[in-house]
Amino acid sequence: METNENVTTAQNPPHQPSPEAPVGTPFADFNLPEPLLRGLHESGYERCTLIQEQAIPLGLQGLDVAGEAQTGTGKTAAFLVPIFAHLLRDKSRTPGEPNVLIISPTRELALQIMQDAQAIGRHLGLKMLAVFGGVDYRKQAQALKEGVDLVAATPGRLIDYTKQGIFNPRHIKYLVVDEADRLFDMGFIADLRWILRRLPPYDKRQSMLFSATLGYRVLELTYEFMNLPRRVSVMPQTRTVSQVTQELYHCSSFEKLNLLLGLLKHEDWSRVMIFTNTKRAVDRLAFKLQAHGYPAEGTSGDINQVKRLKLMERFKSGELKILVATNVAARGLHIEDVSHVINYDVPSDPEDYVHRVGRTARAGAVGKAITLCCDEYATHLPYVEEFLGDKIPVVFAEDELFLPDDTPEYRRPPRQAQIEGQFRWTLFSGFAQDLQRLLIRFNRPVIPFHSALQNTPIEGCLPKMGVQFQSAFIRDERLFGLVHRR
Ligand code: AMP
């Protein structure tokens, strides 16, 4: 298959509005069904953003679309509006049949899509469901069984329900793959292909794909699973948001915390996101900031999903003022009014710098991005600056900016998965492939157990097995139980 080379690209020259500004064609000009138009209006959508301007007419014609656009550009409505219009006009469809599938890499993004869909689609009488791992296993399964029209899912949980016959992919008429590049980055590509192979053939459905960049690997996916997709693109002329003031401090890794403490004291901040490169640094920094009396919490891929969601909610609502995070939290989130983004570590992937910095100065607000460049990660800086096409302005840190830290050193709690001794342990997982991976990773006697109880949630497995629950941990959105084997 070929892609249509007739690429529509808006390079957003300086005299034009930013890709985020909704100043394009009014939605009222698209001949949309009235209830959809009303939902758009009541949700504050009057005119298109650039990506909507390009993608909606193609989508309304029933064409496949591959869009290059980041979060914040309005890409969600760019795919939701045509899909909703088609659903409303499709007289042959059976309500309660999952005709729409939106796949995204993270639960946060799936929830965000769901929120936008429920807002825009408030008058459409459609049942919509977010499906993701970590929580509400039975509730989501029950909702699927009762019938839904639209599913916004992360891959892992969706595969689980598909294997159990709770979700039937053959009903899908509209497919959206959101943040495709992130799906690759997070190692979901095998899972994504697994799902895509079970959908109706590409010419029997409409497919849309969005990605921050349409690089080689993503394009390959579009060749494979889409029907001559039209490419649309909104690339900001500068890679960072123009309203962001960027600053870079050089320091040693040894005194980085002291500099951060000074910056937090001197900067006029209201809400701060601090990004680190490792989960361990998240834990340590959150611990240290709390010890200094700051309202800070850490979030990373390792954290219990329920807790992670609650943290994001508290941060969004303004109750929590400082969030320390790895890159997982950097993409795909709409958190308004983050006054400061602090790159505690220079990221290894230049795109992560842009995503991190993109957390501030959203919706036309002014923000500040401060990067601490230490000996450990200084080698990443040239790549970031090359990607930006510019140097980040350097600020010299006066001695007074380094505040002392006399709080206790952070001690890492023992990892649950490292518990061992004279016992033999069984690791439970709903996924055979996870067990295989774990067997290799743990490099010690582990008993794979995935026959009769496969795909049964851990709470259900354990009483049936008569085993004593020791601990459970969540990794990659899946629950693993560590139990003492009888
Ligand atoms: P997205 O890039 O799709 O995640 O959208 C970012 C935010 O912009 C969402 O919270 C939307 O509610 C909002 N938004 C998107 N398109 C429009 C529009 N045309 N008019 C007003 N708000 C919009």
Q: What is the DSSP letter of 188?
A: -
**Which residue has the CA at smallest separation from atom 14 of ligand 1?**
74
Compute the distance between CA of residue 22 and CA of residue 463 in angstroms, rounded to an integer: 54
Residue partners of 388: CB distance under 8 A and separation at least 6: 238, 239, 240, 350, 353, 354
Render pLDDT for 100-128 as a digit per residue (tens, 0 to 9): 999 999 888 999 999 999 999 999 999 99
What is the reported pLDDT for 402? 95
Residue 123, judged by CB atoms within 10 A of its CB (0-12, 13-18, 19+), counts as middle
Quickly state the pLDDT bin for 334 (edges 50, 70, 90): low
Residue of 16, 71, 122 whose CA lies nearest to 363: 71
8 Å CB contact between 217 and 52: no
Closest atom of ligand 1 to 72 CA is 2
Closest atom of ligand 1 to 332 CA is 4
pTM recorded for the entire structure = 0.58
What is the reported pLDDT for 19? 61
**Which residue has the CA at smallest separation from atom 21 of ligand 1?**
45
Quickly state the pLDDT bin for 417 (edges 50, 70, 90): very low
What is the reported pLDDT for 443? 46
Please state the rounded mean pLDDT for residues 306-321.
84
Task: Tell me the CA–centroid distance for residue 115 and ligand 1, in Å.
Answer: 11
The pocket around ligand 1, CB under 6 angstroms, is made up of 22, 44-45, 47-49, 52, 71-77, 116, 334
Closest atom of ligand 1 to 71 CA is 2
Closest atom of ligand 1 to 116 CA is 12
**Which residue has the CA at smallest separation from atom 5 of ligand 1?**
74
Q: Which two tokens stand for residue 161?
A: 């329900």
What is the reported pLDDT for 329? 61
What is the reported pLDDT for 129? 97
- 414 pLDDT exceeds 70? no
Q: Which two tokens stand for residue 182?
A: 């992130």
Task: Tell me the CA–centroid distance for residue 482 and ligand 1, in Å.
Answer: 42
What is the reported pLDDT for 265? 93
Compute the distance between CA of residue 171 and CA of residue 299 in angstroms, rounded to an integer: 36
Compute the distance between CA of residue 308 and CA of residue 49 in angstroms, rounded to an integer: 31
Render pLDDT for 143-195 as a digit per residue (tens, 0 to 9): 999 999 999 999 999 999 999 999 999 999 999 999 998 888 777 888 999 99
Compute the distance between CA of residue 166 and CA of residue 159 in angstroms, rounded to an integer: 10
**Which residue has the CA at smallest separation from atom 22 of ligand 1?**
45
What is the reported pLDDT for 355? 77
- 215 pLDDT exceeds 90? no
Higher pLDDT, residue 180 or 412: 180
C-alpha of 12 from chain center: 25
Compute the distance between CA of residue 134 and CA of residue 117 in angstroms, rounded to an integer: 22
Residue 387, judged by CB atoms within 10 A of its CB (0-12, 13-18, 19+), counts as middle
What is the reported pLDDT for 304? 67
Task: Tell me the CA–centroid distance for residue 216 and ligand 1, in Å.
Answer: 27
Render pLDDT for 449-466 as a digit per residue (tens, 0 to 9): 433 334 444 444 444 444
Mean per-residue pLDDT of the chain: 80
- Looking at the DSSP bridge assignments, the partners of residue 210 are 67
Percent of the chain with pLDDT over 90: 52
Task: Tell me the CA–centroid distance for residue 121 and ligand 1, in Å.
Answer: 14
Please state the rounded mean pLDDT for residues 186-206.
92
Render pLDDT for 370-398 as a digit per residue (tens, 0 to 9): 999 999 999 999 988 888 878 899 999 99
Render pLDDT for 294-310 as a digit per residue (tens, 0 to 9): 999 998 766 666 777 78
Range ranked top by mean pLDDT from 144-148, 430-434, 441-445: 144-148
**Which residue has the CA at smallest separation from atom 6 of ligand 1?**
72
